[in-house]
Amino acid sequence: MNTGVVSMRYARALLAYAKGQKVEDRVYEEVKTLAANYVNVPDLRRAIENPVLDAKRKCELLREASGGKDVSEELMRFFALVLDERREKFLQFMLWSYIDLYREDKNILVGKLTTAVPSKRLEEHLVGLIGSRTQGKVEMEAHIDPDLIGGYIIELEGYRLDASVANQLKRVKQQFIARNRRIV
């Protein structure tokens, strides 16, 4: 079966079940934690896909990677279903699909803000501005890049705005180069 089809089907089922139980926000946070652990701890994926480990041990690993003892019953039932159906090799894709479906359902935009120095105030201002313009919620990931010298770069839903000093200096340099070519 196609990985995307299987993953999306299971993710839709989890979202529908979580919404029915009114815990979709909690499940979303747990799924984000687990997805981050899948990326940061490559051995987790190998352990979950290991046919030697039994389903109970795999469930315990998934519980710990999702947030520990406080993981919702709905997510634990989902893990049991995935393991019973022997679909653990699709689990990471199911997590990503759930995150995408949840964000689409709740109108959440995901962005990346890169600044030369940490600026919580700028981040809050941009999140508020974008949220008010789009009537949605914004999840902003902040990064620091001293090479920008000043200003910021914001990437949001496929769009990029480069308002950095480094970019402005680069454009000025290109203008001087273009003028010098005309003179010669």
- Per-residue pLDDT tens for 13-37? 999 999 999 999 999 999 999 999 9
The DSSP element (H or E) to which 102 belongs, if any, is helix 91-106
Confidence band, pLDDT 50/70/90 cuts, at residue 148: very high
Work out the percent of the chain whose per-residue pLDDT is above 70.
98
Low-confidence winner among 30-34, 147-151, 178-182 (lowest mean pLDDT) = 178-182
What are the pLDDT digits (tens) for 119-146? 999 999 999 999 999 899 999 999 999 9
Mean pLDDT of all residues in 64-69 = 93
Whether 73 has a pLDDT exceeding 90, the answer reads yes
Q: What is the pLDDT of residue 182?
A: 74
The dihedral sign for the CA sequence 144, 119, 137, 159 = negative
Q: What is the pLDDT of residue 19?
A: 97
pTM for this predicted structure: 0.84
Work out the percent of the chain whose per-residue pLDDT is above 90.
89
Q: Yes or no: say if 14 and 94 are a contact pair by the CB < 8 Å rule.
A: yes
99-120 burial: b if 16+ Cβ within 10 Å, else e: bebbbeeeebbebebbbbeeee
What are the pLDDT digits (tens) for 96-113? 999 999 999 999 999 999
State the Cα–Cα distance between residues 78 and 116, nearest whole angstrom: 42
Helix 55-66, helix 42-49: angle, nearest 10: 160
Whether 1 has a pLDDT exceeding 60, the answer reads no
Confidence band, pLDDT 50/70/90 cuts, at residue 179: confident
Whether 184 has a pLDDT exceeding 70, the answer reads no
Q: What is the pLDDT of residue 126?
A: 92
